[in-house]
Amino acid sequence: MTDTTDHELADVLVIGSGIAGCAAALSAAREGAEVLLLTKAERPDDASTDWAQGGISTTRGDPKSLKEDILTASDGTADPDAVDVLVENADDAVEDVLLETLEIGFDETDGGQFDYTREAAHSAYRILHVDAATGTHILRPFLRYLDTHDRIEVRQDTAALELITHEGRVHGVVSDEESTGKAIFAGTTILATGGIGALYTRSTNPDDATGDGIAMAALAGAEVADLEYVQFHPTAYAGDDPFLLSEALRGEGAVLRNRDGERFMNDYHPQGDLAPRDVVARAVETEREETGEVVLDVSTLEREFETEYPAIAETCRDRGIEGDEIPVAPCEHFLCGGIDVDENGRTSLDRLYAVGECARTGVHGANRLASTSLLEGLVWGLRAGADAVDLEAEPETVEAPDLRNGDPDLPERFATEKSIRLKRTMDEHLGLERDPDDVARASAVLRRLKGEVDAYTRTRTARDLYELRNASVTALLIARAASENAESTGCHYVVDDDAPLA
């Protein structure tokens, strides 16, 4: 039974240690709050931010043009008001946090100006980067900075298992610090738990991106939206253990070729290799099916691959990839939807906020523009952190969910085997293309799977079981959203094999 006598209190509780969680913690602390940041991560590279390559978009003084690119990439589905919040706050947030507070050394030209780069569907060079390992170069100094802050505690290797709710208000979480859970009560709780890469076999996310925040919030009754829009990156290494080949490479001149050596993107979209990501991902998959292989040719880069993209070049060398042509295939990359939030990150539940990839701000609509995810995490993290602080409101200690830790003979490898089944279902039926009949079949499999997992989470608090519970809840929500949307838009591409031929 969860022990509420041995509880903790925080003004603001942040769950997750990517850029959005760090920004929320920083801004709440700046407003005078005592902040506790819990993270499952044991190392910075357990957060997706650390894996982000291309960079962070700015507006370079032209918010209108960035807004137009975001709306176009989203196929007109992004929420213009949310995009305004992003573009109007982008440059100040970058200046304040990344340049002045953290002093990130973004790449510069020989003349000492920022070396802005460009990625697919951007009409201008406006992306700040540190070679193509930008996330690492932002997150690590950010975490070091938070560690020195006297109002912020970062607690690693600690998972939130359940939200504590009472009469529609969220009062904190039960963490896995005790065998039957430990209650942490907070004035406000901010979810920044990242994405869902662990729901698919091939992903550019860390292995433990199990949709925790989305599942916990949805189970507590929060509204979620746009979950069918799962973005697949077109250029991940095609072999086992995929890694990202940043869109910045195409932005700087690399091109896609099929097995016959032909460039094909102009046959699919007027912007060719720099078309919106969903278009390129489907084209790559089609060409792979028709010709057997697609490669990213880096010999056409305007700059030297080895010297300009050292981290990617090193990964290629480590994997034994030789030459200028790197085999690529689409790979799960980002969830455009999530927990529905307003312009300050407020969810539909009182005192619960969500920021970063687990949140749906409306900025991405059905398809996200490259290098806007770090920016969205930064902007909404800062806004939510500041908005969440109410120093007059004491955290209340209410009854916490009753977690047990009995021993119901959990079969060995239970979580691993169920997770493989879940991934296979998502790969086959909720990938780049969705057939309504297959989505219905996937929902049935996922419902059964969730039932099997629930039987154990009722009696055990093991983290991997809760992660599996969260993955299966989030997978079911994605399947439901996909089944309710018959229209192909952006990342949600509906094929209907049973439809009558025209």
Give the catalytic positions in this structure. 277
Contact in structure between 205 and 241 (CB atoms under 8 Å):
no
Q: Which residue is nearest to ligand SIN (CB)?
A: 54
Contact present, 281 and 330 (Cβ < 8 Å):
yes
Cβ proximity to ligand SIN: between 17 and 53 the closer is: 53
| Smaller CB separation from ligand SIN, 175 or 372 | 372
**Residue numbers at the binding site for ligand SIN (CB under 6 A):** 53-54, 244, 246-248, 370-371, 373
Cβ 387 to ligand SIN shortest distance, Å = 25
Tracing tokens 């309504």 back to the chain, one arrives at 436
* Distant-in-sequence, close-in-space partners of 46: CB < 8 Å, separation ≥ 6: 17, 39, 40, 206, 208
Nearer to ligand SIN, 247 or 332 (CB): 247
State the nearest-atom distance from the C-beta of 385 to ligand SIN, in Å: 22
Closest CA to 69 of 284, 258, 275: 275
Which of 77, 134 has the CB closer to ligand SIN? Answer: 134
Q: Could you say which DSSP state residue 275 is in?
A: S
Crossing angle for the helix pair 436-457 and 463-484, to the nearest 10 degrees: 150
> Which among 488, 428, 205, 468 has a CA at the least distance from the CA of 335?
205
Closest to 427 (Cα-Cα) out of 459, 394, 475: 475
Taking the complex as a whole, the smallest distance from the CB of residue 285 to ligand SIN amounts, in Å, to 17
Residue among 432, 34, 429, 54 at smallest CA distance from 248: 54
Minimum distance from CB of 380 to ligand SIN (Å)?
15
- Cα separation, 378 vs 52, in Å, equals 14
DSSP labels, 59-95: -TT-HHHHHHHHHHHTTT-S-HHHHHHHHHHHHHHII
Residue 294 burial (CB count, 10 A): 27
Least Cβ distance, residue 255 to ligand SIN (angstroms): 15
On the 0-12 / 13-18 / 19+ scale of CB atoms within 10 A, 328 is buried
CB of 87 to ligand SIN, least distance (A): 16
Return the residue matching tokens 């890469």.
Answer: 197
* In the complex, least distance from residue 241 CB atom to ligand SIN, rounded to whole angstroms: 18
Distance (Å, whole) CA 80 – CA 75: 12
Are 121 and 248 a contacting pair, CB within 8 Å? no
Residue that has been written with the tokens 């016959």 in this structure? 260
Q: How far is the CB of 359 from ligand SIN (least distance, A)?
A: 16
Question: Which is it for strands 35-38 and 152-155: parallel, antiparallel or unpaired?
Answer: parallel
> Which two tokens mark 467?
């992660």
